Amino acid sequence: MTIALQAEPPVELVAKQHKFAALDALRGVAAACVMLWHIQWTFGGPQDFGHAQLAVDLFFILSGFVISHSYAARLKSGAMTFGDYVIRRIVRLYPLIALGTAIGLAHALAYGPQSKLHALILLPLGLAAIPVPSASLMPLDPPSWSLFFEMFGSVAFGLLIPA
C-alpha cells in the first residue's frame, strides 16, 4: 500500500489565488440570513430576520469587491475578453435563474391563482431573466430579482472597467 503525498503549489500560484476568507464568511452569513428570512416568510413562524434585505445589499457590495478583484486586471490587460467574462458570469448565475424559474413554474401550475396559460407565457421571460412590470419583477421566481441585478451589474462592470 502506497500513500501519495500531494505537493504544495508553487508560491506564485498561491499568490494569484488570493482568497478573502473573512469576506467569503460574511457573504455566507448574509446568504444564510436571506435564506432564513425566505423560509420564515414561506412557512410562517417568528420573523426574526425582518431586515434581511440589508443582507442582500451587503452580499451585493461584497460580491462586487470580489468580482472586481477577480476580473478587473484581466479585463484591463486584455487577458480576458468581455465575451469570456460574460460567459463566466452566465455560467455562474444562470443555473440558479433556471432552477428557480422551473420551481416557480411547477408551483404556479400546481397551486397558483393565475391561469396555467399565464404561467406558461411567463416561462420564457423567466428563463431569459427578463423582468415583467408587475407586482413582482420575476413573477415565477420573485427572489431572482437579485440575480437579475447581479447579472446587470456584472455586464455593466465588464463594459466599463476596460475603459
- State how far the Cα of 121 lies from the Cα of 17, in Å rounded to an integer: 44
- State how far the Cα of 75 lies from the Cα of 79, in Å rounded to an integer: 6
pTM, entire model: 0.71
**Distance of CA 110 to CAs 9, 42, 116, 136, Å?**
52, 16, 9, 19
Mean pLDDT of 119-136: 86
pLDDT per residue over 28-59, tens digit each?
A: 888 888 888 878 877 877 777 778 878 888 88
Residue 3 banded pLDDT, cuts 50, 70, 90: low
User: What's the distance, CA 130 to chain centroid?
Assistant: 15
**Percentage of residues of the chain with pLDDT beyond 70:** 87
pLDDT score recorded for residue 14: 41
pLDDT score recorded for residue 37: 84
pLDDT score recorded for residue 13: 43
Produce one character per residue of 23-34: b if its CB has 16 or more CB atoms within 10 Å, e if not. eeebbeebeebb
28, three cell numbers: 455566507
One-letter amino acid identity for 55? A
Mean pLDDT of 19-33: 85
Largest CA distance in the chain: 65
